[in-house]
A and B are shown apart, each in its own frame.
Chain A
Amino acid sequence: MRCAAKVVMKMSEKKPCCSGGGCCAGESVTPYGEKDKWVTGEVHTPRGGVPMVSTKLDFKDILGAWKVRWGIGRMDYKINPGLYAVGNPDDASPVLVSANYKLTFDALRKELSGLDCWILILDTKGINVWCAAGKGTFGTGELIIRVLRTKLSKMVSHRTLILPQLGAPGVRAHEVTKQTGFSVVYGPVRARDIKAFLASGFQATEEMRTVKFTLWDRLVLAPVELASAAKTSLMVLGLLFLVNLFAARPFGLADFIAYAGAVIAGTVLTPLLLPLIPGRAFAWKGWLLGALWTAGFAWLNGWFASGSLLLATGYLLVLPSLSAYLAMNFTGSSTYTSFSGVIREMKTAVPLIVLSSAAGIVLVLIKSLSA
């Protein structure tokens, strides 16, 4: 029988006090709040209680995920770093390492039903594993500190840490081993493959090791792209409102639809259709969809008639550029663009976008003010 860690359900709000000599047995090694409903109890270890987490997401978790997907409070959606327990782990149970972004933590724990394991959460300032690894907060130093601070070597008898593969950009595995004695095993990219990975004795298939960017992956990113573009758009609309005070041809619903379409082309349609749009540079892909939209909408509105040609030309210069700019910014949300590639793309795209939109704005304003 291995070291039997006792499970105590959260029955009382008060901390159970131990007999004699400084009460601390009930003290959780990882602090958590009463509002954290995902903590279902504590696993008691010689080093203190370890919060046991549910492998099911409740309404609050799902609502929280929905909010951050729309960009509401997403930079402050985090849990305390430290050690957590899933099921009823003992000193032989595997240790999974993850980030303290709540969305990440939820994605991980919901895949762990029926398992007994430890989760070591690093302080990544509420950022997901991959981005944090790129910044270095999911990194060698933080991992070493967290292993030492949780006294992990006394919690488990083995010396293996399972890291998500996407943590690798931030972690020098051999350095961690040198400093802590724990060897690093890189697990699969996606949490849903962890069970298969553990069951096969740490074997990950090529498929499990490959980052994808599926239609669904791109779809869940759409709201936050749209929300952030909408915020900036409010300023644009404010400016147009001011222009309207002097305009001979005030901006109206058709102009708004033309503009909104270009924003959607850049933030939603280009991401969704990404691999289907010919070409490789994001700005080009966005420009293409923006140009198709603008040309189509201008034609429908009869803006190509001689009286409105100035307007059509102006919009064809400014709106596709806007789509191109928004699509170019989607490089940061994609899973396959390199820094060198983005720099190369920007060298061509940014000057064109600036010149084209400046010319377009001038034409549209001339049309609007002089009609």
Chain B
Amino acid sequence: MKHKYLKNVATLRLSADKCIGCGRCAQVCPHRVFKMKEGKAQIKDKDLCMECGACARNCPANAIAVDTGVGCAAAVIMGRLTGREPSCDCSGGECC
């Protein structure tokens, strides 16, 4: 069964103008958000994006932007409490 998270929240953006069609984003995406069509990448289903940032980091043309962060409520809460960036560093030993 396919897991689906909240709709219309992902911050993924793709600039078709900048895309050079190398296909790296489609390769690295763990949720198969991209497809290649006519030598360009396209976003197939943005709601599947978990904002890991693999596509953006590996895009040699800087055609992809996404606000990355840990998709972890515990990390966000710890971040708020300690005033630091939310991270997987739950020093208490519990972590993602």
Contacts and interface: CB of A to CB of B under 8 A. Distances in A.
A49 interface: no
A165 B30 contact: yes
B5 A332 contact: no
Given A209-B32, A210-B31, A224-B94, A342 B72 contact: yes
Given A75-B95, A131-B88, A135-B87, A341 B70 contact: no
A333 interface: yes
Dominant SS among interface residues on chain A? helix
Q: How large is the interface on A (under 10, 10 to 19, 20 to 34, 35 or more residues)?
A: 35 or more
B1 interface: yes
A275 B3 CA distance: 6
Interface stretch (A56-64, A109-117, A167-175, A289-297): A167-175
B41 interface: no
Contact of B6 (A169, A170, A281): A281
Contacts of A275: 1-3
A179 interface: no
Contacts of B48: 336
Given A206-B32, A210-B30, A341-B9, A228 B93 contact: yes
A346 B76 contact: yes
Given A332-B74, A333-B96, A345-B6, A339 B51 contact: yes
B1, B29, B76, B86 — most chain A CB neighbours (10 Å): B76
B65 interface: no
B23 to A, nearest CB: 11
Contact of B95 (A131, A168, A276, A343): A131
A71 B93 contact: yes
Contact of A341 (B71, B87, B95): B71
Nearest to B86: A339
Contacts of B54: 133, 165, 168-169
A127 B60 CA distance: 27
Interface string A104-141: 00000000000000000000000100110111000000
Contact of B57 (A171, A328, A329, A337): A171
Contacts of B75: 332
Given A165-B28, A339-B70, A172 B57 contact: yes
Interface in B51-96: 51-54, 57-58, 60, 67-77, 86-89, 92-96
Contacts of A328: 73
Given A131-B88, A172-B58, A338-B49, 20 more contacts: A134-B52, A134-B53, A134-B88, A168-B58, A172-B57, A206-B32, A275-B3, A283-B73, A328-B73, A331-B71, A332-B71, A332-B75, A333-B96, A336-B4, A336-B50, A339-B86, A341-B9, A346-B73, A346-B77, A350-B77
Interface of B: 1-7, 9-11, 24, 27-32, 48-54, 57-58, 60, 67-77, 86-89, 92-96
19 contacts: A71-B94, A74-B93, A131-B95, A168-B58, A170-B57, A171-B58, A206-B32, A209-B27, A228-B93, A275-B2, A275-B3, A280-B6, A332-B72, A332-B88, A334-B71, A336-B5, A336-B48, A339-B71, A342-B76
Interface of A: 71, 74-75, 127, 130-131, 133-135, 165-166, 168-174, 186, 189, 206, 209-211, 213, 224, 228, 274-276, 280-283, 328-329, 331-346, 350
